[in-house]
Amino acid sequence: MRNNASIFIIASLALTLLSFFLDRKKTLMGLEKGWKMFQNIALPFVNILILVSLVLYVVPPSLIVRYLGPDSGWAGQMIAAVVGSITLIPGFISYPIAAVLIAAGASYAIVATFMTTLMMVGVVTLPLEIRYFGAKVAILRNALNFIAAIVIGTCVGLML
Amino acid sequence: MMNFLRKKKQYLWLFLYLLATLGSFAFGFDPGKEVFGNFTQFFIEMVTFIPFLFIIVGLFDVWFPKEQVEKHIGQESGIKGILIVIVLAMLQAGPLYGAFPVAYILYKKGASIKNIFIYLGAFSSLKIPMLGMEIGYLGIQFTLARTLVSLPLFIAVGYFMEWYLKDKDFKINKM
């Protein structure tokens, strides 16, 4: 099993017990909150898993390795950074996608770049951001984060 | 109403997929079976940790309410001020555009330009539920490496923005 399910199971049980011991009412409230959040994401999440399963069947891993693998170099990282900047994928959905990319042979540097631009750069939401901050600041923030994402990806790639 | 339709559409996807899978097994359509194999693996992976992650997130939410942290915004400066905005960001959830209204609140409360942009950086990459997902799917090493590299970088972005905007009449508009 790739994920560390046991860490989450043990941590959640221990925290629930501790919390229950300290305050029953709060604990029940917390569990209810957690359950509600889970309910909200469960269905869209399952749908994304369906989509990822389909795409994984259609796109051969060799293609992923070629364009996003360790040997794809700067071009691969730029692809990842640009795709991450222009797409608007909710965070929780991007993780299974990232895990699949790594399993299929994409490099850590490229996946980290993709994830970071996805989170910190938003071309689609730029008009909204401009309304809050003004054009100059919004564009500058996105540009700086785009550069930061490439640096982050490169460093993560060197560390792992 | 729109929400209701959207929900319905999501069920429709799932329903169509299950129907197609049933069909694949009934008629021996191999690609369908293989896709289902992928799906089962992903699904098991998900149900073995995400419900537990949300238990942790829910408990965090009641024990460390963001309102508590929000009270201290703007009063503290220096390292302490930076720490407070980062902790506040970590307690949030949702996409980045959900952070802009909060940035406005921070601005109104007198947070510095630097801290507002540090908040946006922390919001986008250090939210607790997202870190949990990241550990589950990409491993603790990846998560640690990415976090440790990101943190100084978006603090640097905060400092740069403050330096650049210092005498430029920076303001955040209310929507």
Q: What is the DSSP letter of B109?
A: T
The CA distance from B92 to B101, in Å, is 12
Pair of tokens at residue B73: 């915004």
B163-174 pLDDT tens trace: 999 888 888 988
Minimal-distance CA residue of chain A relative to B58: A34
Any idea where the domains of chain B sit in the sequence?
2-48, 61-165
CB contact under 8 A, B157 and A141: yes
pLDDT tens by residue, B24-81: 999 999 899 989 998 998 898 888 888 998 999 899 889 988 887 777 777 677 888 8
- Sequence-distant (≥ 6) Cβ neighbours of residue A143 within 8 angstroms: none
B102-120 pLDDT tens trace: 899 888 888 899 999 999 9
Q: Which of A12, A90, A151 sits opposite B153 (nearest CB)?
A: A151
Using CA atoms in the order A111, A117, A119, A123, what is the torsion angle rounded to 10 degrees?
Answer: -140
Residue contact B43–A49, C-beta within 8 A: yes
> What whole-number distance in Å separates Cα of residue B89 and Cα of residue B124?
8
* Stated pTM of the model: 0.86
**Out of B50, B124, B172, whose CB is closest to A133?**
B172
Cβ-defined contact of A92 to B133 (cutoff 8 Å) = yes
Q: Residue A114 above 90 pLDDT?
A: yes
Nearest to B128 by CA among B75, B40, B59, B81: B59
Contacts of A93 in chain B (CB under 8 A): none
Put simply, the answer to whether A33 touches B58 (Cβ < 8 Å) is: yes
Q: Average pLDDT in the A79-85 region?
A: 93
The predicted structure's pLDDT at residue B7: 67
Q: Do A95 and B59 touch (CB under 8 A)?
A: no
User: B38–A53: do the CB atoms touch at under 8 Å?
Assistant: yes
Instruction: Respond yes or no on whether ipTM tops 0.85.
Output: yes
Q: What is the pLDDT of residues B117-140, one digit of tens each?
A: 999 999 998 999 899 999 999 999
Nearest to B149 among A26, A30, A155 (CB): A155
User: Is some CB atom of chain A closer than 8 A to the CB atom of B139?
Assistant: yes
- Measured between beta carbons, which residues in chain A are less than 8 angstroms from residue B130? 91-92, 95, 119
pLDDT of residue A1: 42
CA distance A13 to B106: 35
User: What pLDDT is stored for residue B98 in this prediction?
Assistant: 84
> Cβ–Cβ of A112/B58 closer than 8 Å?
no
Nearest by CB to B142, from A44, A53, A160: name it: A160
